[in-house]
Structure 1
């Protein structure tokens, strides 16, 4: 049985035991017979699958293609289970050589096996639209239409079978290998803060200290560590951006973010409407808020290490883990008892790893694994208010993944834009629950300021990240970028988004290096802003007493990846393609700032 070490870890602010996950619901251990048997079973099934279906899909009936998809899902689910296990072990401690070796071995095995299924989606996409419509008259195949839609959106960009196979097989020594190098470098990084060596996560946590000198020293230590690895991070970024450009050119994607937009099943113009709406609101939102914050902190100018500083009268007391569990469970249960029960199961069982330890992945995530096994949640719990909100966020993902599991392995996955809905909605529920319990105007002001900062981080900061990525990827099409050029793109987008209240010291030019989305998932970041604005509009519908809101909301989550954003939002009277939709979401943030200005 593989269980992460259960310890509080270096840098914890509490003596209480934080939970670590138990991965034995997936496999007993990396060398277990169960895992080996699943690898053998996947190899056997994929041979049968390829023998029966390769070259035969064009003339197959709708019923036969539905049978083929059933078998494809079986193989994909076995590989998904194995891959999840390896990824979660690696996330537990990516500096452990055995974990890294196991992770690489599993990636290579999965790539080798899945290569033999590669023909399937390619051949499905070669079926003409007219022929596919005829086949979809079969009810068994019609049930798979969302899956077919999700792959056929890439039909115009598909390459020959031989090229697709080469790209797939070489990914294990290409993008995957560079991503692993990035992860291992980041996880092993030590940051010097006032002559003390701390992990990256601990140093980042100090940026939220209520002592300005602590924040400044942490910021300078982080800058030194990032700069010492700057050439490596720049090489990784340049290589992956060029790799993407080469593939995009072969596929003839019109924009650097086109592949991501197709994957999200979202139109380019909807993304542009979101980005333009947020950018146009920089002054009304972040610029205005940070002028207020500078005044509250008694500063003429904010430094970058002041961005997440607590207010002077916010002692940001450590919230024990048991209290955090109670806060989040109460918020979900008040909204819907069924969801409260699901949250309790996560909190009572070893499905969460919140322990602080060297080598563990920084940040947080909820990993969906496979439908017959629950998701696993990783976070690094320092006991701050933001950590409680992170717990609420990731549990929202967990609930979404469980509710969508009935759609099956390949149709339960939700596009990124909608995947953030449940998580951000969970944050909003937790925030509103806490806000209702504030007893004084000052406590309310502190809560509101925390929420505004979280929303600005989710909306404004993520759109600035998106604009940074566009600059990098578009510039890399012509030349390799010097670290100074990448740093300049970073400073430009940060200055534009955060506004004149800030000035940036030189070391901040390297702070782009610790954002893992840039490496793992190019252009992922706008999904956060999409989700936050969507949730703001959705929560307003809930507050206005929309009939049967809770039931409709749960049905929306149960849909998984079977419906597009227009279908999912229609029951609530919302339409993301309408520019006014984004204004509704941004207005919520602006109204919170209005209240803070008047406080």
Structure 2
């Protein structure tokens, strides 16, 4: 039996037996009734903007009733939506799941409209009075203050309702098109004399094949695949960025970036400090790329060499071994973390097999209470083990948020990577402790590979998105223009670290995060997460017991304060370049160690 055949699929039957079951239909009906009743509650209490509204004891009671019910409905919606998405992300050709999602989206529009009404209502209230006189408001203080500011950027109620309703057939529809097209691409590829039509996720996995000719041909096949679908994906990109630009202007944001920073609970000063420190680190990460090229016997890496393994005989990690190792090493931090990981494996929360129609990459999504679901496209390598640990870290974060309300669980992307980077680091450090020289080289290379992606490649994607947003204000952009902007951004960031003639012009088509009206500028939060998580791990090493006493509470509080306030609990100043440099210095030391190992005889 092959490795692929033994990889697990996640178990969704614990929620509902199937998408066509009586239980699912009943759950769907309950949700629609709950949203209808919530809408009636909002109408009864006139939950919308009221400039002359005066707070008193009766209004405080109304607020608490509305807040409690709103949180409950959001919980219901999350579970049902996640359940449906789990079928689509593992098989985008599942017509039943696609139909259920389409039906569900109509109700999500109604819920989004109610959310906007709630924000406008909070904007009308004396929030300080509310926090002082209501325990529930105190527990949601940050969310309420955040909503009060957000209310100043709302259009009129009628315009907001129209924008929400139209999003189903505009931004969300274009996003769905990207997801469906990208997951269903099949590319002809010849190997061992046989030509097969391979899913794009499998083709992209060949980027880590030890045979350079296979990597090169897979890269060429991938580019050809994206070229075939570039016109509709460019239309999706143009439509989404155009919609966001229009809405940002109407909502009185200076730019999409300003809105994204607000939603991610950081400010321009924090972003500028982080990006400045990242630019300083480019030469060190390019040095890593030169070292890798030398090790591979190349004058310079091509794009298709970025994920090349250095050692053909690198240790293979089958899934069962990865499971044992992760649980054991998580236990070196805490029994709670180890028990969580063991439960995720035992209860089949993980879907690990790459297959046609399945989304590429990896992610973790909260399902219900303290349960998550993890999608991976596992291959028997340490990189895949590291990715699995990373996604389990997200699940552990969800575990610590489980006792919070739905609104309190809404965390910014900047803080969403905190536990995942921490867990990934635990695994890497554990492997390095017992590794021989060749294994150390492979592990450090995997770590630096990730760091290069998150610091250098993420920077290129940030530059790309920034420029597309700006140019889209004037007109739509062609496929060739999108390719050129992407290549220019890659040249600026990778510099001489890569062969400038062998880059990836279609990276804008690859990354699904570009195709969302709600998650503009998804790029920099990943860099934030890596460097913030790395800095936290350094603090853990300095004083493990003190760190442990505050860490789980930090994770449970990521929806209750801005990033700077939470970081200050550990003595971190996010607006100072020094903090970001200190995290990047850890990466620099890894480059130094990597170089030492390569130079040893």
Same fold (TM over 0.5): yes
CA distance in 2, matches of 1:115, 1:155: 13
When structure 1 is superposed on structure 2, of 333-342 and 539-548 the one drifting more is: 539-548
- 1:226-262 CA-to-partner distances (Å, cap 9, x unmatched) read 1111111111111111111111111121123122111
Alignment match, 1:3: none
Distance 1:100 1:582, change over 3 A: same
CA distance in 1, matches of 2:72, 2:217: 52
CA distance in 1, matches of 2:216, 2:168: 40
- Segments of 5+ residues of structure 2 without an aligned counterpart are none
Alignment match, 1:354: 352
When structure 1 is superposed on structure 2, of 179-188 and 33-42 the one drifting more is: 33-42
Alignment match, 2:156: 160
Alignment match, 2:184: 188
CA distance in 2, matches of 1:112, 1:21: 30
- How far is 1:37 from its partner? 3.3
- How far is 1:206 from its partner? 0.3
Which runs of structure 2 are paired with 1:194-593 in the superposition (5 Å)? 194=190, 195-284=195-284, 286-311=285-310, 313-370=311-368, 372=369, 374-438=371-435, 440-505=436-501, 508-520=504-516, 521-545=519-543, 547-593=545-591
When structure 1 is superposed on structure 2, of 584-593 and 511-520 the one drifting more is: 511-520
Alignment match, 2:40: 48
Match of 1:133 among 121, 128, 132: 128
Whether the 8 Å contact between 1:314 and 1:446 is mirrored in structure 2 is: no
Whether the 8 Å contact between 1:455 and 1:589 is mirrored in structure 2 is: yes
Matched, 1:27 2:25: no
- How far is 1:16 from its partner? 4.9
Give the 3-state SS of the residue equivalent to 1:500 in structure 2: helix
- How far is 1:506 from its partner? 6.7
When structure 1 is superposed on structure 2, of 338-347 and 106-115 the one drifting more is: 106-115
CA distance in 1, matches of 2:354, 2:294: 35
CA distance in 1, matches of 2:236, 2:533: 35
What's the TM-score, normalizing by structure 1?
Answer: 0.93
CA distance in 1, matches of 2:465, 2:500: 20
Distance 1:309 1:161, change over 3 A: same
Give the 3-state SS of the residue equivalent to 1:486 in structure 2: helix
- How far is 1:33 from its partner? 3.7
Whether the 8 Å contact between 2:188 and 2:198 is mirrored in structure 1 is: yes
When structure 1 is superposed on structure 2, of 451-460 and 566-575 the one drifting more is: 566-575
When structure 1 is superposed on structure 2, of 227-236 and 55-64 the one drifting more is: 55-64
Match of 1:38 among 25, 30, 35: 30
- How far is 1:215 from its partner? 0.1
- How far is 1:143 from its partner? 1.6
CA distance in 1, matches of 2:290, 2:36: 63
- How far is 1:135 from its partner? 2.1
- How far is 1:144 from its partner? 1.7
Matched, 1:14 2:3: yes
Whether the 8 Å contact between 1:150 and 1:265 is mirrored in structure 2 is: no
When structure 1 is superposed on structure 2, of 543-552 and 511-520 the one drifting more is: 543-552
- 1:108-167 CA-to-partner distances (Å, cap 9, x unmatched) read 23223543454221121133xxx2212221132212212213322323311111111101
When structure 1 is superposed on structure 2, of 530-539 and 457-466 the one drifting more is: 457-466
- How far is 1:545 from its partner? 2.4
- How far is 1:546 from its partner? 5.0
- How far is 1:29 from its partner? 2.5
When structure 1 is superposed on structure 2, of 562-571 and 473-482 the one drifting more is: 562-571
- How far is 1:366 from its partner? 0.7
Whether the 8 Å contact between 1:223 and 1:511 is mirrored in structure 2 is: no
Whether the 8 Å contact between 2:119 and 2:150 is mirrored in structure 1 is: no
Give the 3-state SS of the residue equivalent to 2:505 in structure 1: helix
- Segments of 5+ residues of structure 1 without an aligned counterpart are 1-7
CA distance in 1, matches of 2:529, 2:17: 36
Whether the 8 Å contact between 1:460 and 1:529 is mirrored in structure 2 is: no
When structure 1 is superposed on structure 2, of 92-101 and 390-399 the one drifting more is: 92-101
- How far is 1:218 from its partner? 0.2
Give the 3-state SS of the residue equivalent to 1:398 in structure 2: helix
Query: How many residue pairs end up in the alignment?
Result: 581
Give the 3-state SS of the residue equivalent to 2:477 in structure 1: coil
CA distance in 2, matches of 1:255, 1:48: 35
Whether the 8 Å contact between 1:86 and 1:102 is mirrored in structure 2 is: yes
- How far is 1:441 from its partner? 2.3
Distance 1:81 1:166, change over 3 A: same
- 1:548-594 CA-to-partner distances (Å, cap 9, x unmatched) read 21121112112241122233222322121222110011111101111
Whether the 8 Å contact between 1:245 and 1:477 is mirrored in structure 2 is: yes
- How far is 1:317 from its partner? 4.0
Give the 3-state SS of the residue equivalent to 1:357 in structure 2: coil
CA distance in 1, matches of 2:467, 2:107: 36
